[in-house]
Each structure stands twice: as structure tokens, then as C-alpha cells.
A and B are shown apart, each in its own frame.
Chain A
Amino acid sequence: MNWLQSFLLPKAAATHASEVDGLFMFIIYLTVFFFFFNGALIFYAAHRWRRRSAGEVTPHTTHNTKLELIWSIIPLMVVMMIFFWGFKGYISAAVAPNDATEIVVTAKKWVWQFEYPDGTRTLNDLHVPLNKPVKLIMHSEDVIHSFFVPTFRLKRDVLPGRYTEIWFTATEPGVQQVFCAEYCGKGHSDMLAKIHVDTDEQYETFLREGDEQVRQMPLKDLGRLVYENKGCATCHSVDGTRGQGPSWKGIFGQVHQGTDGKGHLVDENYIRESILYPQAVVVQGFEPIMPTFQGLLREREILGVIEYIKSLK
């Protein structure tokens, strides 16, 4: 009955999905059997004992203890079996293995944001390694959402003010669909995401260079993304306002007065040095508080920041 399973369920793409499918199909067979069983009894009775004359006398059967016990106990045994089967699947999906890759999921109206162990962030596109356990630690910034991956047979509500977790091991390379399953307003049905199940090589490339979208983004736009997402905006303005650090507006090509008393031309190498070794030159009037971004930014992202600063005239 493989055709029935592939008619009813999307192709399973995670390890514990097959166990869920086994139970699902068992209950399907049970449902179909009892529907036709009851239906057959009803139609047989309605035909066999249809009223032929008004004066028909029927047997006065008030009960039959043996029969009633049979039709109470058999269903009871069947449903208890289903309970334990479902419980087993639920438990095995509840506790993630220790070596699972942890990814933080933030839901808000109406986007999914993913943050990887190395600080990489993506929006509505989740990259996970093939055949390796992945654990999602999820929370919401506004109302309740629900992270639903039909092909993984996986769903968990995402709550404000509380963390929920799920884990999975993806077994099929390619793209899987994510839905928001808890009604969250106007954009509920557009709150979709994709899971990209990458081979080890693809996953490494993603972590090193960002996802497809980032890799193809013009440098200047990438720089703005870094500025917004990696914390630069906390201290550096782009409109000339003085913050914890110098504003980036119009600084390219200028000369910065360092606390070492020398003037430093703001060029590509100066910006790169300031990102990777922030204490090398500190501009006069500012505290030496900037942390290093060594290992946190990709080469192309540093180039992007430089291009972005160039563009701020």
C-alpha cells in the first residue's frame, strides 16, 4: 500500500519521520477497516431487515453481555497499543543528542530568523548539515508562532518569554518547506521558510561564505547587512551622529587623529585593521572599547564593510 502512503504523506526527510509514518499508516488501515466494517453491518442490516409489512414483530433483545465485553475490550486493547506507539515516537523526538548543532530560532511577525553557533545569521533560510543532528532553540518576539516541517513530521510552538526546543536529523539533501502553524495575524500564511539540507561540503561553504543570497549580494549591500546585523550600528552611526565610536559618514579618505598623536588616512587597509585589531589605532576623543571581529567576519564581509563606508558620502 505504498501508493496510499505517498498519496497521503509528503516524502519523509528526517530520521524519526518513518516511525511516525508507520503509526500513521497503521491508524489509516484501522480507520478504513472499521469504516467499511461498520458500513457493511449497517447496510446489511438496513437491507436484510427492511420493513416488509407494518405488523412485523422484532426480537426483544435488550443486551448481550458477552458481545458487549468483546466490543469494549478489543477497542480498548487497540487504542492502548496506539497510545504506547505514539508515546514512543514522541519521547524519542523529545531529547536531542549531546553532539547536536545548536541553532537559535527567533520568530516574529512574520519572519523566521536563524542564528548559527559561529554568529552567522540568516532570514527565512535555514541551513543544516545532512545526516547530523540539529537542535533548534526557539523563541518568539511577539505572539505565539509554530515551527512546522511537514517532511520531518515535526512541529513545535514558538512562544514569547519562553524557549522551546526541537531536534532532527535530516536524511534527504535538498530543500524542505517550513510553515508557521500557529495563527499569528495578517501575514500568517506568508510566514514561510526553507530548510536547505546541505552536504558537509555545502554546509562548510555556507558557514565560510554565507548562503547563496549573501554570496551573490553586491559588496555594498553586504556591508550594510553586516553593519545592521553584527552590532556595528550600536556604536557607529552612518548619519554623522556621534556615538560610542566615530560615525562612518564621509570618513573614507579623511585623516583620523589617533591617540598616538599621528594622523591616519582612512583607506581600505586602515578599515581592515580597525575591524580586526581595533586597539591598533584609537581615534582621539574615543575610548578603546571596540572588540575585535577577528574570526567573526568573513573576508567578503570585511570587503563589504569597506565598500559600504566608501558609499557613505
Chain B
Amino acid sequence: MADAHTLTGTGGATAHAHGDYLDDPKGIKSWLTTVDHKRIGIMYLWSITFFMIVGGLFAMLIRIEHLTPAKTIMDAEMYNRVFTLHGAIMVFLVIIPAIPGSLGNFALPLLLGAKDVAFPRINLMSLYLYWIGALMALGTLFMGGVDTGWTFYTPYSTTTGGGVTLMVFAAFVLGFSSIFTGVNFIATVHKLRAPGMGWFEMPLFCWGMYSTALIQILATPVLGITLLLLAMERLFHIGIFDAQLGGDPVLFQHFFWFYSHPAVYIMILPAMAVMSEVIPVFSKKTIFGYKAIAFSSVAIALVGFFVWAHHMFVAGMSVYAGAIFSFLTFFIAIPSAIKVFNWIATMWQGSIELKTPMLYAISFLLLFTIGGLTGMFLASLSTDVHLHDTYFVVAHFHYVMAGSNLIALLAGLHYWWPKMFGRMYDESLGRIGAVLVFIGFNATFLPQFVMGSRGMPRRYFNYLPQFQALHVASTIGAVILAVGLFLTLANLLASFRRPKGMVDNPWGGKTLEWATSSPPTTHNFEGQPVPLHGPYDYRPVPAPIGSEVHTG
């Protein structure tokens, strides 16, 4: 609380001081019925961690299976279920809710100087829907599993056995969980900013969450409808997608990607949002190009709605449709590139401290550069024809979805961990974890680019022996990655053995969440905080808020 923000008045609070939100009130029931955004964020965090471990175990099973070209530890049917569950869990239960659910819920109101999100009860309902959806998804394991891939392409998905219908309803329920989070964030950003905090005085994390929320509420209903249509076809044989019933299988792909491509930006925008907080703090320098980053987020959210059919260049779509979608797709590269250059420019001439969160941020910049640039191979028509549905695509989307989103989650988690729990993890182990994760990640997925460009199709149980060396390299990388992640988890958990407190503002952050105690009290701030300067003003004498007109 060393900073220049003030807390004015006591807002009608009586004399009794609140304890920190983790202990006040106590008891499991108080957690399960809480409407505190911080507690909901923490419960999201543990749930996501649990499912990341489950999804990660399925990933390890896949990697072990591919140590040999034919059967290693499971048969083809089991393999198909394992890769489906890996994908479905990681997409719907981990990556989509990861940053908004955990870091977003925890940090967004604090960054805005608010006491909670706009609709605290809906926020709790979002968490319960997440749990219900998660149980339904796991329930499919007892119905013979699901072997459609997380994409549920028709007519395969309407004709195969197993628990496809239940999985589809699980995704439907999880969609509502996501929509509720989005509704909350939009209302919170609009209505609950601290007095004096204009749109361009918000921390950029809030712009990222806001853009994400726009996609969540506009795109997710389309997925819901699509999945309902799919369920109707499976249950009542109404011909919508199945050619044998008079439907059109390609229609499903249009519907599906109309949600699932914007969903890629539900995954990447929050990651970018975290970067815009972490990089200025550890560079001790104001963010470069505030408005460019803010508008890039919104631009990505909007343009993201017009590129869905770039997943379908070889699906039998017309050549001209392909050309239009390829053209539009390239435009998405520009705001992404602008952001990366802005972050590098923020580091330029800064005072850079390579603490664990900053190592993850640098890791993100490098991995996202690879993820973004390899997207050009797939946005371009003629090269996509060769690379579509190969391991090249698998590698590319792991760089973007895991390499960027997951790494950003880890950056944000190490950044806000002392704020969340009032305890500090071991810095050296944190750094070792970050480096291992970076090395392991690249060792896992770089070989997959080569496999893919050489022609190895994805979702293959058996493969030609010529690809074995690359598969083995990838599996070794996955082991390093797993070691790095477990070391990181252990390091974070070990911090609970350390004393609480003493870390109110360990990084010297200028945003409002650092103006309260760590961990914050139940009501976040004692009184209403009023920001006195911009979120990234690191000058010895900061300019008063509202006095600067941002033009860049």
C-alpha cells in the first residue's frame, strides 16, 4: 500500500475490520455458497488445475502410444477415445475457462477498484455449471466413451456409438458457464470502474477480458444451437447434417467453426491480457501503445467472427469462398503482430527484472511468435491444402492454445499468487520450472511441425515407420514438459508452508489490486479506492489520472 492511490471514506463500513477473504468467513459451506469473486476465482483455479492434470495424463497416454508405429499400450478404439477426451477436456474444461475463470474472476474487479463483479450470484452459477458440465463430460467414460474428436464432425458423430449425446450436452452446459462469465465481465467493466477511471485508464487486462467476453456471449450461443441440432439428429433422426437423412455434413462444420474459431480468441485474448500487465511491471516502464493494444484486442474479437471457414479449405467449399476467408484470415495477423511489437517496445529501455512471471512472459512472446507465424502456412490456400489435418496443424494450435494460453496462465498465476494467497513461492524453483516448461514444450511440438509437413496425418493410431524418430522425440519432450509442470505445481503448493503476509506489493505494481493488502480483505478495499494515476505510470512523479490524453 506504498503507492499513491487513496482509499476514500469507509463506504458505510462499520468499525469491525474484515479478515482476509481466505479465512473470513471460515468453513467449506461458506466457500460453496460464496458470491465473492475472489473465492470463485480460486475454486475455478483448483478445478482447472485438476482437469489440466487429467487432460495432461491423456496427452501422456497418446505420446506413450506413439513410441512405436503400431500398438504400444492400447488398441485403436481406446486411442480414439483418449485423444477425444484429451481434446474435449483441454478445450472446454481447461483452456476456455482457464484465464477468465481463475485470473479474470480474481483480478478483474480488483484492477477496476470494484468490490465484486456486477452479478455475483450469476458468477457462482457459472462455477456450478462448470462443475455440472465437467461431471457430465467425465460421465461419458461410463457410457463407452466418445470417439468423435472434440470437433464432433458429422455424419461420424451422429452414427457412432458411445456417450456422444452426453458429451454434447456437457459442452452445451459448459457453454452457458462461459456465457455467464462473459455477461458478468461486460457489465462489470461498464458499471463498476473506480471513480475517475475512464475507459483508457483501465489496466489493459480489463480490455482483454472485455474483448473475450464479447466473443463469449456472441459466439457461444451458436455452439449451443449446433450441439442441440446434433443431439436432435442423434436422438430423433431429424436430418440436418447426415446426408442419408437429407442433411448436409458440411453445414455442421460451418456452424461448429462459427463458434470454435472465435473460441480460439477466447483462448488467446486473455493470454494477451495477462502479458499487458506482467511486462510493464517487470520492465518498470509504461506500456507502449496503450490504445493500439486495447483496440487490437477488440479488432481481434470482431475480425475473429469472419474467418471461421479457413478450417474448411479442403472440405468441398467453393474456391471463391476459400479465397475470401483466406484473405480475411490474414488480417487477424496484423493486430497480433502489433501487440507483440508493442510488448517488445515496452521492454525497450526498461528496467527489466527476470523474475518467474517475466520469464513466462518472454516464453510467451517466443512461443506466440512461432504460433502466429506458423498460422500463415494455414491461412494461405495452397499450403493449407498440403498441411490441413496433419501434425503441422496439431503443432500450430498447441503453440497458440497451450504454448500461449497455458504459459500466460502460468505467468499470471506467478504474478498474482502472492496477491491471491499472501505467500511467496520459491523464486529459483519457479525459474527452473519456467525454463523446463519452455524447453519441454518446444521439444514436444517442434518435431510435430516436421512430421506434419512431411505428411503425417493427425488422429492416426498406426503410423508409417518413417515418422517414428520424430514421434519419439516428441514423447521425450512431453516428459520434460510434464516434469516442468509438476515442479511448478509443487513449488506453488509449497508456498503454503511459508508465512502469510509481507507481500502486499512484491513487484512494485501500479495497478489498484496492489493498493490493498495481500491477500485482500473480503470486500477487497477498505473504502472506495480512487486511482490517482494511470495503471502503468512508473515516473517518479506520476501525472494525475485524466490529465494525459493517450494518442498512441
For A164, give the chain B residue with the smallest CB separation: B316
- Which B residues lie within 8 Å of A50 (CB)? 352-354
Q: Which of B76, B333, B349, B453 contacts A187 (CB 8 A)?
A: B76
Which residues between 322 and 373 of chain B lie within 8 Å of chain A, taking CB atoms?
Answer: 322-323, 326-327, 330-331, 333-334, 337-338, 340-342, 344-345, 347-354, 362, 365-366, 369-370, 373
Q: Which of A30, A68, A143, A151 contacts B159 (CB 8 A)?
A: A143
The answer to whether residues A150 and B386 also contact, given A31-B370, A186-B77 and a CB cut-off of 8 A, is yes
Q: How far is the CA of A148 from the CA of B456 in the complex (A)?
A: 10
The reply to whether the CB of A106 lies closer than 8 angstroms to some CB of chain B is no
Tell whether, in the assembled complex, residue B319 and residue A91 are in contact, meaning their CB atoms are under 8 Å apart: yes
Tell whether, in the assembled complex, residue B334 and residue A159 are in contact, meaning their CB atoms are under 8 Å apart: no
The reply to whether the CB of A1 lies closer than 8 angstroms to some CB of chain B is no
Tell whether, in the assembled complex, residue B351 and residue A185 are in contact, meaning their CB atoms are under 8 Å apart: no
The reply to whether the CB of A100 lies closer than 8 angstroms to some CB of chain B is no
Tell whether, in the assembled complex, residue A49 and residue B347 are in contact, meaning their CB atoms are under 8 Å apart: yes
Which residues between 1 and 27 of chain A lie within 8 Å of chain B, taking CB atoms?
Answer: 7-10, 16, 19-20, 23-24, 27
Q: How far is the CA of A111 from the CA of B386 in the complex (A)?
A: 21
Q: How far is the CA of A237 from the CA of B454 in the complex (A)?
A: 48
Q: Which of B337, B384, B464 contacts A86 (CB 8 A)?
A: B384
- Which A residues lie within 8 Å of B369 (CB)? 34-35, 38-39
The answer to whether residues A23 and B382 also contact, given A60-B538, A72-B338 and a CB cut-off of 8 A, is yes
Tell whether, in the assembled complex, residue B250 and residue A159 are in contact, meaning their CB atoms are under 8 Å apart: yes
The reply to whether the CB of B6 lies closer than 8 angstroms to some CB of chain A is no
Q: Which of B286, B347, B381, B389 contacts A90 (CB 8 A)?
A: B381
* Chain B nearest CB, measured from A153 CB (Å): 4
Tell whether, in the assembled complex, residue B286 and residue A156 are in contact, meaning their CB atoms are under 8 Å apart: no
Q: How far is the CA of A31 from the CA of B323 in the complex (A)?
A: 22
| Residue with the greatest number of chain A CB neighbours at <10 A, chosen from B376, B461, B462 | B376
Tell whether, in the assembled complex, residue B377 and residue A24 are in contact, meaning their CB atoms are under 8 Å apart: yes
The answer to whether residues A183 and B76 also contact, given A31-B370, A93-B385 and a CB cut-off of 8 A, is no
* Chain A nearest CB, measured from B138 CB (Å): 22
Chain A binder among B41-49, B209-217, B223-231, B288-296: B288-296
Tell whether, in the assembled complex, residue B389 and residue A181 are in contact, meaning their CB atoms are under 8 Å apart: yes
Tell whether, in the assembled complex, residue A162 and residue B538 are in contact, meaning their CB atoms are under 8 Å apart: no
The answer to whether residues A183 and B330 also contact, given A27-B383, A75-B337, A85-B380 and a CB cut-off of 8 A, is no
The reply to whether the CB of B474 lies closer than 8 angstroms to some CB of chain A is no
The answer to whether residues A42 and B450 also contact, given A83-B326, A85-B380 and a CB cut-off of 8 A, is no
The reply to whether the CB of A125 lies closer than 8 angstroms to some CB of chain B is no
Q: How far is the CA of A150 from the CA of B147 in the complex (A)?
A: 26
- Which B residues lie within 8 Å of A75 (CB)? 333-334, 337
Tell whether, in the assembled complex, residue A24 and residue B386 are in contact, meaning their CB atoms are under 8 Å apart: yes
The answer to whether residues A83 and B380 also contact, given A162-B316, A179-B457, A183-B153 and a CB cut-off of 8 A, is yes
* Chain A nearest CB, measured from B508 CB (Å): 8
Tell whether, in the assembled complex, residue A79 and residue B453 are in contact, meaning their CB atoms are under 8 Å apart: no
- Which B residues lie within 8 Å of A151 (CB)? 455
Tell whether, in the assembled complex, residue A60 and residue B537 are in contact, meaning their CB atoms are under 8 Å apart: yes
* Chain A nearest CB, measured from B335 CB (Å): 9
| Residue with the greatest number of chain A CB neighbours at <10 A, chosen from B315, B316, B386 | B386
* Chain B nearest CB, measured from A108 CB (Å): 13
- Which A residues lie within 8 Å of B283 (CB)? 49, 58
**Which residues of chain A have a CB within 8 Å of any CB of chain B?**
7-10, 16, 19-20, 23-24, 27, 30-31, 34-35, 38-39, 41-42, 45-46, 49-52, 56-65, 67-68, 71-72, 75-76, 79-80, 82-83, 85-91, 93-94, 142-144, 146, 148, 150-151, 153-157, 159-162, 164, 177, 179-190
A-B contact pairs, 11 of them (CB 8 A): A35-B373, A38-B366, A46-B352, A57-B351, A57-B540, A64-B345, A87-B381, A90-B326, A162-B243, A181-B389, A181-B390
**Which residues of chain B have a CB within 8 Å of any CB of chain A?**
76-77, 80, 147-149, 153, 155-156, 159-160, 243-244, 248-250, 283-292, 313-316, 319, 322-323, 326-327, 330-331, 333-334, 337-338, 340-342, 344-345, 347-354, 362, 365-366, 369-370, 373-374, 376-377, 379-386, 388-390, 450, 453-455, 457-464, 537-540, 548, 550-552
Interface contacts beyond A42-B366, A83-B380: sample of 13 additional A-B pairs, CB < 8 Å, sorted by A: A8-B453, A10-B455, A20-B382, A24-B377, A65-B552, A83-B326, A85-B380, A87-B327, A156-B314, A156-B316, A186-B76, A188-B461, A189-B457
